[in-house]
Amino acid sequence: MAIENIIFEPGYMTLVMENGRRTRYTVADILRALDIPIGLTYEQVGAVTTLANLLVVLIRTLQAKDIVDEDFLEKGEFDISMLIKSIEDMGGSYTDPDLNVT
């Protein structure tokens, strides 16, 4: 029997089989403390922002060279507004990327 879908909910993972049967697992039973990353340090937060701004520079360069347009991926699964939101969520700026953030 093959897995058709995996559904993630806070604290749970549900496997949906081809026949529609669902089996719910608690994440605590699957993960160990060693599997969970400690997290970002204060020093790394600036690096995430710099990385987001580097992505802006890359996107703009690819657009200027007519390699990509407002749609990304083969089937247009992402558009520029989605990328801009992700960049801004990481602390970057699409309008004024700062590569000196540390």
Residues 30-51: tens digit of each pLDDT: 777 666 667 767 677 788 888 8
pLDDT in the model for residue 35? 67
Task: Evaluate if residue 75 carries a pLDDT over 70.
Answer: no
Q: Let me know whether 46 and 85 are in one domain.
A: yes
Does some domain include residue 55?
yes
Q: In what order do the strands lie in the sheet with 22-26?
A: 3-9, 12-17, 22-26
Does some domain include residue 68?
yes
Confidence label for 76 from pLDDT (cuts 50, 70 and 90): low
Q: Let me know whether 14 and 31 are in one domain.
A: yes
Q: Let me know whether 48 and 82 are in one domain.
A: yes
Q: Let me know whether 49 and 79 are in one domain.
A: yes
Domain housing 9: 3-35
Q: How confident is the model over 17-36, as a mean pLDDT?
A: 81
Are 69 and 63 in contact by the 8 Å Cβ rule? The answer is yes
pLDDT in the model for residue 22? 92
- What's the whole-model pTM score? 0.54
Number of domains in the chain: 2
Does some domain include residue 10?
yes
Does some domain include residue 97?
no
Q: Let me know whether 85 and 47 are in one domain.
A: yes
Q: How confident is the model over 64-76, as a mean pLDDT?
A: 73
